[in-house]
Amino acid sequence: MELLRHIKHLSKRLFFFSLIALLFIGCARMGNPDGGWFDETSPEVISASPKDKALNVNTNKIRILFNEYIKVENANENVVVSPPQMEMPEIKEGGKQIIINLKDTLKPNVTYTIDFSDAITDNNEGNPLGNFTYSFSTGDVIDTLEVSGYVLEAENLEPIKGIMVGLYDNHEDSVFHTSPMLRVSRTDSKGHFVIKGVAPGNYRIFALHDADDNYIYSQRSEKIAFNHDSISPSCKPDIRQDTVWTDTLHIKDIHRIGYTHFYPDDIVLRAFTPVITDRYFLKVERTSPDHFTFFFTYGSDYLPVIKGLNFDEWDAFVVSPSEKKDTITYWLRDTTLVNQDTLRMEVQYLMTDSLGELVDKIDTLEVLAKESYAKRQKQLHKEYQEWEKEQEKAKKKGEPYDSIMPVKPLNITNNLQSQLDPDKNILFTSPTPLVEVDTSKIHLYAKHDTLWFKSRFLFRQLNTLEYELVGEWRPTIEYSLEIDSAAFIDIYGKASKAMKNGFGVRSEDVYSTLLITVQGMKGKNIVVQLLSSSDGVYKEAKTDNGYAEFFYVKPGEYYMRMFVDDNNNGKWDTGDFDLDLQPEAVYYYPGMLQCRAKWDLSETWNPTAKELYRQKPEKIMKQKPDKAKTVKKRNAERAKNLGIEYNL
């Protein structure tokens, strides 16, 4: 009996401890080290003071209350107040509320909108509220129309992120220079904008990279866009389809949802930076002792006039202006001047005055060499000592040696490789200006069967330092370029050494040919450009008949764009608002072109068939869209890991 009582007692204790263990396990599961189920709900607005869309508001302070703790990401960049505020509004988040303090005086009978875009998220999981806009009116009516569209770089159709877009109801051109925009928005990473709270009427629309935050085009360096045509906002009821997915592959249902469709919703603004024609002297550099360079903001056919103050400037320079003549390099002919650390000079040049007119300006400059003469001599002495040691070693070993250090030859380089494209030529580059090119010392030979014959060529100068050899290149033929010593002599008397390069010309079988028919462009001067995967120009063809041909195209993936060359200068030109000049039109072929060896590819392209903002292939787009903020569906994954069925 006592034994039975003892067994029952043990059984109760065992049951008690088992129950405790089960409860502990259950509690451990409920607590879960990963924090339990995730919050998958977006914040909701509970109330606002004044109420959203309230009328006759006369307070500058707005308080918006939410159902959970929230945060506002980068308020200064993401939140846009319209009409634009001259003094930056104060936007504070705290717990479950946002407090906005508008510092500007409220305007009478105006609709105000505070567009938060997707900047509001909950504090823990980052679930976005979505495109939230708060609005109120200081009058009896609140305006609710919207206009939307895209802002693209005029030159390459890249979406522009963060540029201001605004409306004017005043149609005078001068208003862009004199008055702040009426209503504004800012583009997202796709270049897309929506201007809200617009009243019925006719408007002109502009885009502006506002450098000084005054909502006015006040600096020529600011990127802008403008349209000649006015827009009239409107709206109508519409239907859109909302797809409900069972999973990533299967559609559960398609709902038809009614909404208000605002127009226009497809505005395209082509933004550009005007050429800054104001001319100012920027700086002078003497990175190498044998030359110095003047830098200006804009070019001029009237080059600077130099008067030497500690040297004789007569025939002292070889002058090398850049193509735009905004950078001018002066090569010193005399080695005495090269060895002079400081050149003092009086420089007369044209600059823009306060009235925008070019006037003469005289500056006194001291141009210092980056490395002093003493330092250069020390380096030359070190090189001589190293050379002398090498000769001593050779002498002791009984090997040939020199007693006089040879003068370094003029180092002429070229771009030759073992194989040359049939449509390319040979480029020569000199480190210093040349005074003599003896073409009788340049020999080009072509091998026919087993015999070598002289081949004709043209040798021409491209600029101060570059030359080009043009030949009649024939595929599969071997060539030998042989240049005698002293064929090139520079302004310091240095002579080039002998050179010999053997090369071949690639067979036509390794290339593709691309033939493009551009619709709707006959009679217009257009330049069609074949692009690499990095959006760089690989080849280009100029035409006025709508047909562009590309020969000797290496196999690979290519893209294509074209621009309408209005002034027929062979290059894309930007616009100018003050001259009422739009930038030259640019279009992108909306797909990829696959070129194969021994293959002719023909394509027909209508540049206006697709909207501009849809044309540029995403693969070569540098401005990638930001990842959309969405509610994180992490509970389904957690349920899967726990072996629990989870219904979305």
Model confidence band, residue 23 (pLDDT cutoffs 50, 70, 90):
very low
Percent of residues, the chain, with pLDDT higher than 70: 90
Distance of CA 165 to the CA centre of its chain: 20
User: For 327-344, what is the mean pLDDT?
Assistant: 96
> How many Cβ atoms from other residues are within 10 Å of residue 621's Cβ?
16
Q: Does the pLDDT at position 72 exceed 50? A: yes
Helices marked H in 431-577 — which ranges? none
Question: H/E element holding 297?
Answer: none
Q: Report the pLDDT value the prediction gives residue 6, as an integer from 0 to 100.
A: 47
What's the pLDDT at 365?
Answer: 97
- At 14 the pLDDT is 45
Average pLDDT along the chain = 90
Structure confidence at residue 12 (pLDDT): 46
Confidence check: pLDDT of 648 > 70: no
Strands (E), 449-598: 451-454, 457-461, 466-471, 478-483, 488-490, 499-505, 512-518, 526-531, 537-543, 547-553, 556-564, 586-588, 593-595
Q: Note the pLDDT of residue 8.
A: 44
The pLDDT tens digits of the residues spanning 463-484 come to 999 999 999 999 889 999 999 9
- The answer on pLDDT for 213 being more than 50 is yes
Surface-to-core class of residue 60, CB atoms within 10 Å of its CB (0-12 exposed, 13-18 middle, 19+ buried): middle
User: What is the arithmetic mean of pLDDT over 20-43?
Assistant: 53
Residue 125: band (very low, low, confident or very high) from pLDDT cuts 50, 70, 90: confident
Global pTM reads 0.84
Output the pLDDT for position 247.
Answer: 67
Supply 422's token pair: 């049939």
Answer with the residue of higher pLDDT: 253 or 506: 506
* pLDDT score for 640: 58
Q: What is the pLDDT of residue 257?
A: 87
**For residues 349-366, average pLDDT:** 94
Cβ(371)–Cβ(289) below 8 Å? yes
Residues 485-537: tens digit of each pLDDT: 999 999 999 999 999 999 999 999 999 999 999 999 988 999 999 999 999 99
> Rounded distance, CA 107 to CA 137, Å?
10
Which pLDDT score, from 0 to 100, does residue 19 have? 42
- Residue 329 — very low, low, confident or very high, per pLDDT cuts 50/70/90? very high
Which residues are paired to 126 by β-bridges?
Answer: none
Averaged pLDDT, 118-134 = 87
Q: What's the 3-state SS for 141-199?
A: CCCCEEEEEEEEECCCCCECCCCEEEEECCCCCCHHHHCCCCEEEECCCCCEEEEEEEC
pLDDT at position 264 is 96
Q: What is the pLDDT of residue 228?
A: 87
- Mean pLDDT, residues 58-69 taken together: 95
For residue range 147-170, what is the model confidence (pLDDT) as tens digits?
A: 999 999 999 999 999 999 999 999
Mean pLDDT computed over 34-40: 59
* The pLDDT value given to residue 29: 39
Distances in Å between the Cα of 208 and the Cα atoms of 87, 164, 177, 217, 219 are 18, 5, 11, 7, 10
In this prediction, residue 429 carries a pLDDT of 98
For 381-432, how does the pLDDT look when each residue is reduced to its tens digit (9 = 90+)? 999 999 999 999 999 999 999 889 988 999 999 999 999 999 999 999 999 9
> What mean pLDDT do residues 443-463 have?
94
Q: What is the mean pLDDT of residues 178-198?
A: 95
> What pLDDT score does 348 carry?
97
Residue the block writes with tokens 């992120």? 161
* Reported confidence tier of residue 630, pLDDT bands at 50, 70, 90: low
* Closest to 373 (Cα-Cα) out of 312, 457, 289, 432: 289
* pLDDT above 50 (res 2): no
Does residue 237 have a pLDDT over 50? yes
Angstrom distance (rounded) from CA 363 to CA 348? 7
Residue 226 has pLDDT above 90, yes or no: yes
Residue 251 has pLDDT above 80, yes or no: no
pLDDT at 39: 63
Report CA torsion sign: 309, 312, 318, 319: positive
Q: Say if residues 137 and 55 touch (Cβ distance below 8 Å).
A: yes
Return the pLDDT at 252: 77
Three-state DSSP string of 255-285: EEEEEEEEECCCEEEEEECCCCCCCCEEEEE
